[in-house]
């Protein structure tokens, strides 16, 4: 994992139930240097508990120390195979 883009886990009762991390958006392009893509996962048994909001608040605050100015987040829900 790239030091500039760490991965964080969300734990509850000593179990990992989710994660969130940043990754570079179009790495190598100087114009995109301060943009990061956000990815996260929360186990389905823990949806609708506010965990996603907590993780986003955390990563936004953490990004200030990483010099990230803009986030991209692509949201997919209920993707089914075709």
pTM for the full predicted model: 0.75
Cα(42)–Cα(47) distance, integer angstroms: 7
Q: What's the mean pLDDT in 7-12?
A: 95
CA separation (Å) from 33 to 24, 55, 80? 8, 23, 34
Model pLDDT, residue 46? 94
Whichever domain contains 15, its CATH number is 3.40.630.30
Confidence of residue 82 (pLDDT cuts 50, 70, 90): low
Q: What is the span of the domain harbouring residue 41?
A: 7-72
Is residue 38 a part of any domain in this protein? Answer: yes
Measured in whole angstroms, how far is the alpha carbon of residue 38 from the centre of its chain?
4
Residue 81 belongs to a domain: no
């Amino acid at each position: 994992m790239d030091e500039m883009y760490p991965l964080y886990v969300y734990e509850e009762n000593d179990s990992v139930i989710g994660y969130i991390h940043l990754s570079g958006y179009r790495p190598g392009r100087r114009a995109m240097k301060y943009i990061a893509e956000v990815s996260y996962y929360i186990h389905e048994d823990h949806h609708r508990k506010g965990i996603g909001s907590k993780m986003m608040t955390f990563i936004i605050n953490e990004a200030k120390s990483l010099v990230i100015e803009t986030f991209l987040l692509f949201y997919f829900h209920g993707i089914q195979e075709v």
